[in-house]
Structure formats: structure tokens, C-alpha cells
Amino acid sequence: MKLGIIGLGKMGANLALQALEKNIHVVGKARSKKPELEEKGIKIVENYTDFVSFLDKPRIIYLSLPAGYTVDSVLQEVCHFLEKGDVIMDGGNSFYLDSIKREKELWQKGIYFLDCGTSGGLQGARHGGCFMIGGRDNGVKIVEPILKKLALNEDAYIHTGGPGSGHFVKLVHNGIEFGMLQAIGEGLALLRQSNFELDLAQIFKNWSNGSVIRSWLVELMEQGLREGPNFQKIESYIEDTGEVDWLIQEAINKEIPIPVISQSVMELFKSRTKESDTYKAIALMRHGFGGHPFGKDEHISNERKTSRIYKI
């Protein structure tokens, strides 16, 4: 098996390393040299001619790029080197209507474009992710053997349906994630401000073992409290790339009430103007699963404005 990965940031690099360990030959294309990946056996190239020539037909390419115009720019460039039957997966958090549009344009050239919702954070990319893939059946069948190898287990891979469905399902997933983060953060704030002397890390460890609310986020909360930065010094300001805002707009258009998810986004906005244990806890968990920064980040802030092309 051979896989091409365009974009070797934190997610793309970890996915490449996992693929290599599972006997998938990887060629990567990035804007800068990656000696730490080349030392592990990942082939890094600087141009699309070398990139494409390394791959067997039908070529399988995974994009690990920020959503928005970057995806369109890369698609324009790489398509000149591809042929009918080749497959491109967008593994980022693109807006699902953008993905539908891109799929139509590439299919006119006979190239499969698949929207691949990818979850599991950095740990999932490195050791076994969760994939929600949308697109034409024949294209999906080409990439299935690779994605099933890279998935945590057989249930961590699903073909959700036609073009756009993978990124739509991932969008809903991200909305649920926001609601869960908010609830856990509020619980942490209540525990910290109680009249009891509580071992918070131990409590979250307890909740990770057999409780109704056991989850990876609860585990990350425990890990962050034990191993993370001094909780008092964590900035409450939470950055995000804005995808869950799209979900709220979708719900309004369809008149579907989603008060918990909507309020979690409002609380995220408030984190940028107000100090709170709740927001610090959310920042700690987000850093745990995705390496998201503490405090302001100009690059991520800009992504909120540029990551969606299609306007409703």
C-alpha cells in the first residue's frame, strides 16, 4: 500500500508515522523540510512530479490542511498531475457544502474526491483514528483498505454516505464535543469552588472507571490536572476555528433546537472576555486532545474567517 499525504503538520505527521508502522509506504509533501520524519523512513518531496510518481495507480492522497482556500489552492495544483480514477481525501474540517462543490468539480475530471471526517486528535492520528468518510462508492472502496488499517478498530471507520456526508457527520461530532467540554468544565469549576478539600485529579480518575460519564475527555481532564501546567496560570481565552458556528447556522436554517451546543459556543465567546475555571478546564482538555494553544493565536483566529468558502 502507498499513501501520499499533503500537509505534514501535527496531524499529518502523526498519521504518516502510524501508516509507516503499519507497512503503508508514505510520501509527504510539505512547505518545509521534515528531517525528523525522513529519519523515520517517510519520503519527503518538494514537487508534485516526484510526489505523484512515488504512488501506484490509482493514486491515493490524503490532505491534512486547514479548511478554506488552502484546500482549493492545493487541489488546483495537484490535479494537473493526476489521472482518472485517482482519489483525494480531505481529512480536514472543511464545510460540507464546500466538499460537495469540490467533489462535483473533480468528478468532471474523473478524479474521486472524498470528504474524510477525522477524529481522535493527535493520539488518534498516531495510534489509531476515527474516520467518517463520504463520497462515491467506487472511490471509497479504493481507500478503505488503508483507512481501516489506520483506524483504531473496525468500528472506528464508517462510510457515511454520498459526497459531503463525512464532513457533515464530523461537524455534528464537533458540536457534541463542545457541549461535553462545557459540561465537564462547569463540573470542574463547581468542584474547585466547593467547601471541601478535594483531590480533583483523583475524582476524575474515579469517574473514568465505571461511571456513567466516563469518556476520553474525562481522562484528559485527569491527565491535565496531574501533568499539565499550573491550573491557576492557564489562560481562560479559548481559540477555535469556527466550525461549530456553521452547525448552529445549519440548525437555525432547519429550525432544529440545539440549545446545549449553541450555549457552548456562546460560552466560548465569553472565555475571550472573562476569567473562569470553566474556561481554563476546557482549554486544558482541548490542549490534551488536539494540542490546541493556551490563549490567543492569530493563525487560528484568522482560520475562523477563511475556513468556509460556501456562503448560505
Reduce the DSSP state of residue 57 to 3 states and report it.
coil
309, 72 contact by CB (below 8 A)? yes
Residue 300: predicted pLDDT: 85
Cis ω on the peptide bond leading into residue 58 (within 30° of 0)? yes
Q: Which of 34, 170, 222, 243 is catalytic?
A: 170
Query: Could you tell me if residue 277 is inside a domain?
Result: yes
Report the mean per-residue pLDDT for the chain. 94
Instruction: Reply yes or no on whether 197 is catalytic.
Output: no
pLDDT digits (tens, 9 = 90+) for 36-64: 999 998 999 989 999 999 999 999 999 99
- In this structure, the answer to whether residues 73 and 144 fall within a common structural domain is yes
Q: For residue 211, count CB atoms less than 10 angstroms from its CB and return exposed for 0-12, middle for 13-18, buried for 19 or more.
A: exposed
Instruction: Reply yes or no on whether 235 is catalytic.
Output: no
- Domain hosting residue 8, numbered range: 2-163
- In this structure, the answer to whether residues 144 and 185 fall within a common structural domain is no
- In this structure, the answer to whether residues 146 and 181 fall within a common structural domain is no
The CATH number of the domain holding residue 136 is 3.40.50.720
pLDDT band per the 50, 70, 90 thresholds, residue 31: confident
Sheet strands side by side (includes 87-90): 43-45, 25-29, 2-6, 60-63, 87-90, 112-119, 130-134, 157-161
Q: Which of 177, 239, 250, 267 is catalytic?
A: 177
- In this structure, the answer to whether residues 140 and 207 fall within a common structural domain is no
